Structure 1
Amino acid sequence: MSTRLKRMLRAGVVAGCVAAMGCTGTLVYAEPSTEELERQKGALENEVAGLNEELNSLGSDIDSLATQMEETAAAMEETQKRMDEAQKRGEEQYEAMKLRIKYMYEAGNTTFLELLCSAEDMADFLNKTDFVQNVSEYDRDMLQALEDTQEEIRMEGDELKEQQTALADMEEELNAKRSELESQIASKSDQISQYSSQIEKAKAAEALLAQQRAAAQQAAQQQAAVGGSAGSAGGTVSTDGKQSIGRFRVTHYCPCYYCCGSWAGSNTASGTVPTVGRTIAVDPSVIPLGSQVIINGHVYTAEDTGSAVKGNVIDVFVSDHATALANGVFYTEVYWAN
């Protein structure tokens, strides 16, 4: 064989191995592990703890706001009382002013003009005029002071109303935020409960899988101890002097839906009943159906095929999915048995 031809064959083998490594021999249905579920549950519990802290802080803010609203309401009530008192004083002052005017202008049968004309002299006239003017200025000043007081109270009341409105808006916002936090906490608490349930199921499944793996290992050890002829189901034989087919990627499958899909429970591609320790699925262009090969000292018969079994790939038939998962994937040299 020429050097060029050898190089081409070597390149073809390498390419086939690379392609085989990119394929998956069995379908694996992977559930999250217990550790992953615990991690996700812990992350949710941390989130809920943070939300509870935020909710507690929000509750303090709402309590403080309620106190401010009570104080504002009390201040508005006090302001209203002051406004009522100022209004009452104004009415009393107005009545008193009317009485004084009536006295000055209608005192007995003496009119205001007569009051001025009754002055004995200019000094008396000026005194009477000053009296009338002082009374008028007093009433004017009192009315102005009363108006100023009422305006001050009104402005204070308007400020309190604005403050009360702002506090009410803030209360609405805080209550909405509290409802949102409570909803988030309830939702995440439900998720935590679901994770707890999943963790319990995962632990039970992992315990069952461990039992199945132990049973599969025990069966493999018993099978190896029995030995047998090249045509027996999985007998251990020597590969001395045997011709190597090449290095193969070995996977495992079982008759379940995840591994075989719609072909689950059916006979092999060659029409035989798949048998543990004997049946393997191969690429017929590499290993013809009916051929016997040696894998790690055990003889298997090529009886089946698969959509993912292409090139240097062999899929070994096992009893159940747990065993398929337990045996996993490995690479090994494969030999012709005959």
Structure 2
Amino acid sequence: MNKIGKRILAAAVASSVLVTPVFADPSVDDLKKSKESAQNEVSSLQTQLNTVVGKITELESQLSSKGEEIIQAQSDLEDAEAEEQKQYADMKVRIKYMYEAGNQSAVESLVGSEDFSDMVNKAEYVSNVHNYDRQKLQEYVETKQKISDLKDQLEEEQSQLESMQTEYESQESKLDNLIASKQAEVSDLDQQIEEAERKAAEEELKRQQEEAARQAAAAEAARQQAASNRNNSSSSSSNSSSNSNKGNSSHKGTSNNAPSYVSGDAVSRAYSALGKPYVWGATGPNSFDCSGLVGFCLTGRYSRSCTSASLNALPTVSNPQPGDVCVRSGHCGIYIGNGQMIHAPHTGDVVKVASVPSNMRIVRP
């Protein structure tokens, strides 16, 4: 196959490979923001739910009052119907009487009138009785109709209120479901946050352990180099002993300002104590306070060999090295280089790595 053919085949194979994107796990901060957002939604939904519940309560009160009005209207309607029936029955009796004996009786009454005026009065009386009956019957019919219309209106209003109540109850149910869903989401986020924090703590501990191993290896290499240099220096000194008197007369000895401990060991011990809880007055091995930790790092013994006050009395060094001591009034820690220290901060915390604050000096015991 020629080169062009091979390139085409390679391109075809490459284009056929399905690339699956890899997404990083959300950080603790991202999860906390999601939780805060979900909690805000829960609060908003709860406010809406409270409003709906208040409207339902108000509607229930209105429905109760409307029901009482309907009951009263029904009672008034029944009374009006009874009065109508009574008036109608009384009118029928009077009409029957007037028609059965009435024409003759009415004529006799009119004929028996004392005078014309008396006759007119009696005729008017008979007419008035008829008119009164018809008027009262009409009034009762109209009253009954008004009450019946009122009852219909109240029942329509009650039906509308019941429809509104059904709608609000539906909204209440939906809001309850939404709130339950969001609360479940918040609970799930709590678990995710807990798991993310656990993983972050594990990763930080692993990083610190790896850094401790690296620092310990570097310290051991430095210790071995220092020992080699001392051996070389001793050999050179014995070889030049014939010139020592002259040298003593013309030169004074200088101090290398070396610490009275092996700095690499101090750093290594400090890393080994990471994660141990702070306990006031403790000097190890399971817990430390600040000077107890420094004393262990400097001497390798679980006893108090120094205090922050005694360390604070030492002069500041101009060339800080890993294994020196960071100190201020009331607190101290082991310098590990790059502006960082390992210290036991306070009750409720653990031995950990931290940046050296500006109010601390670096001294060399």
Q: Quickly name the TM-score band, shorter chain normalised.
A: 0.5 to 0.7
Residue among 174, 184, 194 paired with 2:178: 184
2:211 aligned partner: 217
Residue among 200, 210, 219 paired with 2:194: 200
Tell me by how many angstroms 1:54 deviates. 1.8
1:169 aligned partner: 163
Cα distance between partner residues in 2 of 1:29 and 1:119: 119
Larger RCO (alpha carbons 8 Å, 6+ apart): 1
Cα distance between partner residues in 2 of 1:51 and 1:111: 85
Aligned residue for 1:30, secondary structure, equals coil
Cα distance between partner residues in 2 of 1:168 and 1:104: 54
Structure 1 residues 220 and 209: alpha-carbon distance in aligned structure 2, compared to 1, 3 A threshold = same
The amino acid across from 1:156 in the alignment is: L
1:62 aligned partner: 56
Cα distance between partner residues in 2 of 1:46 and 1:120: 99
Q: Deviations over 1:59-94 (max 9, x none)?
A: 111111100000000000000000000011111111
Is contact 1:105–1:111 with CA below 8 Å preserved after alignment?
Answer: no
Q: May I ask how many residue pairs the two structures share in their alignment?
A: 201
- Higher gyration radius (CA): 2
Q: Which runs of 5+ in 2 are unaligned?
A: 1-20, 222-365
Equivalent runs, 1:230-241 vs 2, <5 Å: none
Equivalent runs, 1:120-131 vs 2, <5 Å: 120-131=114-125
Q: Which runs of 5+ in 1 are unaligned?
A: 1-26, 228-338
Tell me by how many angstroms 1:115 deviates. 4.0
Cα distance between partner residues in 2 of 1:161 and 1:204: 64
Aligned residue for 1:32, secondary structure, equals coil
- The alignment's TM-score, normalised by the length of structure 1, stands at 0.55
Structure 1 residues 87 and 28: alpha-carbon distance in aligned structure 2, compared to 1, 3 A threshold = closer
Cα distance between partner residues in 1 of 2:120 and 2:41: 90
Structure 1 residues 164 and 28: alpha-carbon distance in aligned structure 2, compared to 1, 3 A threshold = closer
Is contact 1:41–1:195 with CA below 8 Å preserved after alignment?
Answer: yes
RMSD, aligned α-carbons: 2.4
Residue among 154, 163, 166 paired with 1:160: 154
Q: Deviations over 1:159-182 (max 9, x none)?
A: 111110110110011000000000
1:300 aligned partner: none
Matched, 1:144 2:138: yes
- The alignment's TM-score, normalised by the length of structure 2, stands at 0.51
The amino acid across from 1:43 in the alignment is: S
Return structure 1 stretches of 4+ with deviation > 6 angstroms.
none
Tell me by how many angstroms 1:217 deviates. 2.5
Matched, 1:95 2:67: no
Higher strand share: 1
Q: Deviations over 1:137-188 (max 9, x none)?
A: 1111111211221121122112111110110110011000000000000000
Q: Deviations over 1:238-264 (max 9, x none)?
A: xxxxxxxxxxxxxxxxxxxxxxxxxxx
The amino acid across from 1:83 in the alignment is: L
Aligned residue for 2:24, secondary structure, equals coil
1:34 aligned partner: 28
Tell me by how many angstroms 1:130 deviates. 0.8
Is contact 1:33–1:202 with CA below 8 Å preserved after alignment?
Answer: yes
Cα distance between partner residues in 1 of 2:26 and 2:102: 109
Identity %: 36
